[in-house]
Structure 1
Amino acid sequence: MKKNQLKKDLGLLPALSIVIGMVIGSGVFFMPTKVFGATGAPGLGIIAWILGGLISIAAGLTAAEVSAAIPKTGGMITYLKETYGDIWGYLLGWAQTLVYIPATMAALGMIFATQVVLLMGINEKMIPVIGIGAIIFLTIMNLLGSKTGGMIQTISTICKLVPLFAIIVIGFIKGDRGVARLFPITMANKPFATALGSALVATMFAYDGWISVGNMAGEMKNPGKDLPKAIIGGLSVIMLVYVVINIAYLFVLPAEVLASTQTPATEVANIIFGENGGKIITIGILVSIFGTLNGFILTGPRVPYAMAVENKLPASKWLSKIDPKFNTPINSTILLSILAIIYTLSGNYGPLIDLLVFIIWIFYVLTFIAVFVLRKNKPNIYRPYKVPLYPVVPILAIMGGLYIIVNTLITQPKNSFLGIIITLVGVPIYMFRKNKFESVE
């Protein structure tokens, strides 16, 4: 094994935990506010959660064929490179490395710290300190090897499901007028298409993050078989949890109340668990966000590492270094953590994430289209998994992605164009360095 080659020691369970752990974060606790606020009606809100899950599963079924056919470290970067050409993978990796991954880490660290402050009654000035502390702690843990990071991911994923299932079970038992609260389907004062569209966008953001498991493909023992199982199995579990827990919310509180509070899960917990309910849910949110943050720190560094191995980034020799003892991309991990700390201190991570959502979904759609391109251009490539109901499922995934892109472009034009500009900055850097691309030894 080369000194800059990652060891293949991840199985199906850690991969499944990465998918579930990175998707189920704070959204399951807070997103009902936006969903039911958009629909105004409980029935349409549940339909939005179901449709969001079905679109995500269609996307997962589609992307799984590409990831199984190209099981290399780097995820979408490698898919786009082998399908459309090097520059497309480069631009995605550039945007992810510079802003998307570290800014997301910063946001998760700050959200985690905010919940710690609320739970323990600590001075709010400690929020940045606690957030940075969480990033540093998980960075150190993941530098001890992908097995360590995968173990943390597995444990946190199991733990985060406990409060969710508690709300579901007790909510159904103690909730009153639950069935009645699932109706009406729509509200007369809200246009059906507009209401469903806004709610669907909110749910799609809650389902996001699953594709990052592809970054770890090069470290999986059997990526051709385990990667599709992790993506599809993980998304199926997530959809079930999201739909059922939102029904449980409605068994306890009507949609208009859920829409009017910024902490819907806590409000429900206070009713069904008593005065300690808020604390229980806060702990659940802490575990959930902690696991999601760990997932980004575990998978994120594989993006700059994969680029650096081919000498595509400044200081590639340094960024492609593998720790000889723990077999982790040590310097790429450190780089993203430093950027995350900088974004945490600046307080500008929120807008940075918003402006890149538009761009990330463009690359998602390109990944879905890659199924058609690869089947035409590389019909003989080994495919241990093929998307079922081809071409219907890939078309559904593409249509869902295009909807997100168009909606974001219309509702957030400024952030969309800023995202395009930041991504296109990578073009001159790519042109300047492309003659230096090679395998870094």
Structure 2
Amino acid sequence: MSGQLGKRLGLPFAIAVCIGLVVGTGIMRTPGEIANMVPDPATVMLLWLAGGLYVLLMANVAAEISSAIPRSGGHYIPVREGLGDAMGLLVGWTMWIAGVAATAFLAIAAAEFFGLIVPAAADHEAIVALIILCGVTALNWAGVEEGRWAQIASTALKLALLLAVVFVALMMPDGESAGEIAAPAASSGIPAEPLSIITVLAGLQFIVTVYDGWYASIYFAGEDKDPGRNIPRSLFQSAIVVTFIYLAINWALITALDFETLRASTLPMAQVIEAATGRWGTLVVAVIAVLMALGTLNAAIMMNPRTLFGMAEDGLFLKTALSVNRGGTPTVALALGFIVAVPLIFSGGYVFVFRLVGAMILFASCLFVLSYFALRVRQPDLERPYRAKGHPVLPALVLLINFALLASFVIAEPFSGAIMAGMIAICIPVGLYLQRQRRLAAKAEKLVSS
């Protein structure tokens, strides 16, 4: 069967996949890293709040364009519709490559934490990661229903576990007690960088990355039973939940741990649980981290094939990517993601790919918002179940934020900026060529029919 994605999904899944893709192992490590980059508790909390506000601003744009064009494919769909084949091709490839790299990273992360639970597995990290990747891929190969329920259950479980950690941290009798347990880690005395615009921007850029994945439900718009209602609701509701969770976690850690201890910690949650239980902190956090990585991996594996499917529908990828099994899974597109992820796991190449696409993801976000303005101009009569609030001020504001983050990233990572320019240079002529070929084919078909 090809070219058919069933209307099987609803609001619970849409919310679960957004939260599930955002809330992963990153929140286990980043509170300490952010505290070290921006060594002021109040500023740290404000930056995490700013990250949530950024997501809400982006959701305001995404809710309009993805509910107005309810096709599965994510960022690619409105960018290609509003800005043409060349930019659509660029965004589609960028998001797919980033997604595949993410699956390799998440499988490795799950294997790494699993090695803390079962020490014998620590010496075979890549093999364990491959087994994990195979298992989650097989689950989604079976069908969308299996992936949907796995996502809802895993998201509910990870939220419950994180709230439990927050509760334990807030019940600590004295933040100093946790600091005393972690004293050796903090005793090295990490010198604090002076608070400045540069450090704040660096921290915000890092936090925006931790919030990445907020858009997951738009990749399934064509499979949602009521995309006009469910896509906007899922984007806003999940953004609010994630912002609350991230603020609660950071507030709890700042409260439970001495701030200098938090700055020095690579796994602050483990220190909190260790302070509460006496010795089980690392093991408990490892179990939580494995479960969180598996939930995020499931979301990524479900999402990635939709990009190739959307591109194939428009003739920008192989038509075989339209193959869909009885369970509603794009099997060829799913298999291609698996095939590319496996060598990344064994080579460690996902780290290189992540650095490479960091600027590209920000560039894709800029094009995504630009497509909103393009669609407003080119298709003013398009039915829009949700219309972005504060037009044009709020969409323009988030566009400026994305450009600022992109510029700061390229300045910090000039190599990534050069690669981005190279990808644009390749995609533009390819996209224009494919667009021209389709126009010629359409004219020929019209002449034959007449």
TM-score over 0.5 for the pair: yes
Is the contact made by 1:57 and 1:232 (CA closer than 8 Å) also made in structure 2? yes
Match status 1:84 vs 2:83:
yes
User: Are residue 277 (structure 1) and residue 281 (structure 2) matched?
Assistant: yes
Check the 8 A contact 2:175/2:257 in 1, yes or no: no
Query: In the aligned structure 2, how far is the partner of 1:423 from the partner of 1:29?
Result: 35
Residue number in structure 1 paired with 2:27: 28
| Structure 2, unaligned runs of 5 or more | 180-190, 443-450
Deviation at 1:242, TM superposition (A): 0.2
- Opposite residue 320 of structure 1, the aligned amino acid is L
Q: How much does 1:424 deviate?
A: 3.9
1:338 is the counterpart of 2:343: no
Query: After superposition, where does 1:67-82 map in structure 2 within 5 Å?
Result: 67-82=66-81
Structure 2 vs 1, CA of residues 357 and 115 (structure 1 numbering), >3 Å: closer, same or farther?
Answer: same
Corresponding position of 1:184: none
Deviation by residue 1:385-427 (Cα, 9 ceiling, x = unmatched): 1122323321332132122201211111112322332454334
Distance between the aligned counterparts of 1:5 and 1:165, measured in 2? 39
2-structure distance, mates of 1:304, 1:351: 22
Decide whether the 8 Å contact of 2:214 with 2:239 is kept in 1.
yes
- Paired amino acid for 2:427: G
- Which letter maps to 2:216? S
2:385 maps to what in 1?
384
| CA RMSD between the two structures | 2.1
**Which residues of 2 match residues 27-426 of structure 1 at below 5 A?**
27-97=26-96, 99-177=97-175, 190-313=194-317, 316-323=318-325, 325-422=326-423, 424-426=425-427
Alignment partner of 1:60: what SS? helix
- Larger displacement relative to structure 2 (395-404 or 252-261): 395-404
Aligned mates of 1:54, 1:175 — CA distance in 2? 32
Q: Could you say what secondary structure the match of 2:383 adopts? A: coil
Which whole-Å CA distance do the structure 2 matches of 1:421 and 1:431 have between them? 16
Corresponding residue SS for 1:418: helix
Distance 1:101 1:74 in 2: 12
The more displaced of 268-277 and 53-62 is 268-277
- Residue 209 (structure 1) shift: 1.1
Stretch moving more, 366-375 or 327-336: 366-375
When the two structures are aligned, how many residues end up with a matched partner?
427
Q: Alpha carbons of 1:109 and 1:420: their partners in 2 closer, same or farther (altered >3 Å)?
A: farther
State the SS of the aligned residue for 1:116.
helix
Q: Specify the alignment match of 2:184 in structure 1.
A: none
Following superposition, the deviation at residue 432 of structure 1 comes to 5.4
1:365 and 1:429, CA in 2 relative to 1: closer, same or farther beyond 3 A? closer
Q: CA deviation at 1:91?
A: 1.4
* Gap regions ≥5 residues in structure 1: 182-186
- Residue aligned with 2:215, SS: helix
Provide closer, same or farther for how the CA distance between residues 244 and 228 of structure 1 changes in structure 2, counting only shifts above 3 A. Answer: same
- Secondary structure, counterpart of 1:71 in structure 2: coil
Deviations 1:44-64, CA, capped at 9 Å, x for gaps: 111110111111111111211
Residues 26-67 of structure 1, C-alpha deviations (whole Å, 9 max, x = no match): 111111122101111111111110111111111111211111
Distance 1:122 1:403 in 2: 46
Distance 1:195 1:126, change over 3 A: same
Q: Distance in 1 between matches of 2:353 and 2:161?
A: 31
What amino acid is aligned across from residue 233 of structure 2 in structure 1? K
Separation of aligned partners in 2, 1:174 and 1:338: 47
1:115-167 CA-to-partner distances (Å, cap 9, x unmatched) read: 10112112433111111111111111111221211111111101111221011
Q: What displacement does 1:278 show? A: 2.1
Give the SS at the match of 2:199: helix
Q: 2 CA distance for matches of 1:125 and 1:298?
A: 29
TM superposition shift of 1:431: 5.1
Q: Distance in 1 between matches of 2:235 and 2:140?
A: 22
1:377 is displaced (CA, Å) by: 2.4
The answer (yes or no) to whether the contact 1:175–1:251 under 8 Å persists in 2 is no
Distance 1:349 1:172, change over 3 A: same
Q: Which amino acid in structure 2 is aligned with residue 15 of structure 1?
A: A
Q: Report the TM-score, using the length of structure 1 for normalisation.
A: 0.92
Q: Which has the larger radius of gyration?
A: 2
Is the 1:163–1:284 contact (alpha carbons within 8 Å) kept by the matching residues of 2?
yes
